């Protein structure tokens, strides 16, 4: 089954967004960030209504892959839950593609028993709890269309050559749940 989908961004939950932006600049060459403060966003998290707050920083690698850093407020969001349960690390991958491909992906997720885990109520962003079927992370489909308060960051260091992401690995406890028959 050929599928025309792409990973468009990687989201990492962090405890200190300023220090993390500095580290990503020094190590991966992402030197310009757009920072947004989200406060009191209505959300549905694991079937329960909630309100989430966080600061996000978005930067782009020269390959075009967006890296989003999230420093969550202490609330019921999946971002904060991850910080409490697993600490800093990859929270989700964002998948993009044509509408028909996205609809087919959502249908395949449903057939695999995967439902929406978090929805920020915007209708454009939904996270699916794929940890049991894909291992280690959530899958986000959609792009935010909300107005954001954005603070531009000036480049941290200009002298570093940008790096390319050529492989993305996930460490899982048990690989067997990831080996399910094809849903086609």
**pLDDT band with cut points at 50, 70 and 90 for residue 26:** very high
Q: Write the CB contacts of 127 (distance below 8 Å, at least 6 apart in sequence).
A: 78, 92, 116, 117, 118, 119, 138, 139, 140
Please report which residue ranges of the chain form alpha helices under DSSP H.
Answer: 17-28, 78-85, 99-111, 131-134
Burial class (CB in 10 A: 0-12, 13-18, 19+), 34: middle
Q: Round the average pLDDT of the chain to a whole number and report it.
A: 76
Indicate the range of 29-43, 55-69, 88-102, 164-178 predicted with least confidence. Answer: 164-178
Full-model pTM:
0.70
More confident position, 146 or 67: 67
The pair of structure tokens assigned to 60 is 């782009």
d(CA 148, CA 151): 9
**Residue 172's pLDDT is what?**
53
Q: For the chain, which domains are there?
A: 5-151+165-178 (3.10.180.10)
**Residue 165's pLDDT is what?**
43
């Amino acid at each position: 089954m050929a599928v025309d989908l792409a990973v468009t961004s990687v989201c990492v939950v962090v405890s200190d967004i300023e220090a993390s932006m500095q580290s990503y600049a020094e190590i991966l060459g992402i030197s310009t960030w757009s920072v947004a403060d989200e406060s009191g966003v209505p959300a549905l998290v694991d079937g329960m209504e909630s309100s989430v707050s966080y600061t996000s920083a978005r930067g782009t690698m020269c390959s075009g892959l967006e890296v989003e850093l999230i420093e969550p407020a202490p609330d019921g969001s999946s971002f904060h839950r991850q910080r409490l349960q697993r600490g800093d690390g990859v929270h989700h991958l964002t998948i993009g593609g044509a509408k028909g491909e996205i609809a087919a992906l959502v249908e395949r997720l449903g057939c695999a028993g995967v439902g929406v885990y978090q929805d920020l109520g915007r209708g454009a962003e939904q996270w699916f709890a794929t940890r049991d079927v894909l291992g280690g992370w959530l899958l986000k489909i959609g792009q935010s269309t909300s107005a954001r308060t954005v603070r531009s960051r000036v480049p941290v260091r200009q002298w570093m050559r940008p790096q390319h992401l050529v492989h993305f690995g996930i460490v899982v406890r048990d690989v067997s749940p990831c080996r399910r028959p094809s849903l086609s």
